[in-house]
Structure 1
Amino acid sequence: MDYLDLYLIHLPVTLKKVNSNDNEVRIDKEDIIPFDMRGTWEAMEECCRLGLAKSIGVSNFTCTKLSQILHYATIPPAVEVHVAWRQEKMLEYCKEKRIHVSAWSPLGANGIIPWGRALSLKILPFTNTRALLRRVYEQGASAIVKSFNEDRMKENLQILDWELSNEEIAQIQEIPPCTGFRVDMVLVHPNGPYKSSHQFWDGEI
């Protein structure tokens, strides 16, 4: 592999390694240490300049953290979202700052997002998949969908020549909000950089 199309900061945290000779990353909450946001972003911009990444971005960030990056960024980041992790405030902020939003796992990751399998929308003649992807498209974001099935891949492209009705949008808006993972179970620790999920999300969630 010569380059990445999109290189993301998955979470605004740093994790300790077991030791300097081991590539295994520890996930114990007490091993989460303060995150050097500026240093990390500047290193990622260097990856772009070297041709190692075409685009760089973030996920699981707040408007507050994103605004910090914009103070020193020379390359604007991309941001992730999906229909249960709607982030209306983030979408408006990104539109204002001309930041592109991508929907990672827009259909819900199995086992992570509760509505991924159980969702039942009354949207016909379109499948749930096409309806959810269309919603992402109508919000001005691109969608990253993982599929190796040729028929599904073709179906996922059939979202450009129709629109969701207000009733159908309302049905999608009824999907319970879900961040995709429990911050308090993974990242919150009294001796770590984040003492509560409220602090991690900067009071925005």
Structure 2
Amino acid sequence: MKNLNIKDLSIIGVLSTLAFICNSLVATFVTPLLGDIGIYAHVGPSLLLAGIIFVVVLKKVAKPGCFFLFGVVFSILFSLMGLWQMSFVIIPATLIGELILAGNGYHSNLRIVIAYTVYGGIYSLHPGFFVWILGQSGLMSQFPEIFTEADAIAHVAKYTNTAFVSKILIFTSLFACAGGILGVMLYQKFFTENNKTSVLDQI
């Protein structure tokens, strides 16, 4: 992180905020369209759009610590919304992403896509982490405006079901992977001179 300068921090701050806004807007509009599964599955489409911006951030800055700071911005914005608990999921997920990108990973499109896919999978399970750590009573005490007793019971039932958790993880990871790949393709097309390479070469 010592190599990050003011310009880098500005790019990370602005684009991460934009990704957060897109993430929130997609979740707002997509959740009702997905019906009963919307509250669980909306993360997938959100990760798809945010992934495009994520790739631009990492490729523009391309320095260790960028992914972590991307998560810090998300955590701060969630905290401003009263959801500071999200930090306990996002920060570890971005640190894992940094490990995947260690060395020359910031210059590898494949590793960037993998890092974002792993991050997306972990991020998508944030309701599950709260269930597994807090339990029903913890959900109601930590998120009183979100969970009634009936909601908490239903939530716990969902995230203690291995098949359900697996479906959510696969669903959202595929969207995250698609977002990363699309981000690489668009970055290659609009932000680099080498825009005639194949998709395989780009990845």
Q: Which TM-score applies when normalising by structure 2?
A: 0.28
> More relative contact order in 1 or in 2 (CA 8 Å, sep 6+)?
2
- Rg larger in structure: 1
Structure number having the greater strand percentage: 1
TM-score by length of 1: 0.28
Which structure features the higher share of helix residues? Answer: 2
